[in-house]
């Protein structure tokens, strides 16, 4: 089981030992990467492209949004 997780991470371009979770689903589907990487947003929901620009302003409306990335692969998939 651990081997298929490593192969699936590598197939989508992640490091084999990364901490991106892998969901093994029934079937033979090829691995695919879903979700978004971590980022910052304003409290109104606008994505902040350059969070370091807010560093010297004192008060900030930045909200951290953790990563939701996930690799989904079929149990019978073979590399």
Predicted pLDDT at 77: 92
Record the tokens describing residue 26, joined without a space: 């029934």
Residue identified by tokens 């090829």 is 30
- Where exactly are the structural domains of the chain? 2-74
| pTM of the complete model | 0.75
Determine how β-strand 47-48 pairs with β-strand 39-41.
antiparallel
C-alpha span between 4 and 78 (Å, rounded) = 8
Provide the residue-wise pLDDT of the chain in tens; the chain has 79 residues: 678 889 999 999 998 888 899 999 999 999 999 999 999 998 899 999 888 877 666 667 788 999 999 999 999 998 6
């Amino acid at each position: 089981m651990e081997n298929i997780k490593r192969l699936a991470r590598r197939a989508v371009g992640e490091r084999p030992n990364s901490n991106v979770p892998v969901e093994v689903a029934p079937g033979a589907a090829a691995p695919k990467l879903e979700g978004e990487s971590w980022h910052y947003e304003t409290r109104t929901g606008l994505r902040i492209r350059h969070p370091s620009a807010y560093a010297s302003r004192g008060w900030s409306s930045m909200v951290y949004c953790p990563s939701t990335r996930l690799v989904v692969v079929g149990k019978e998939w073979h590399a």
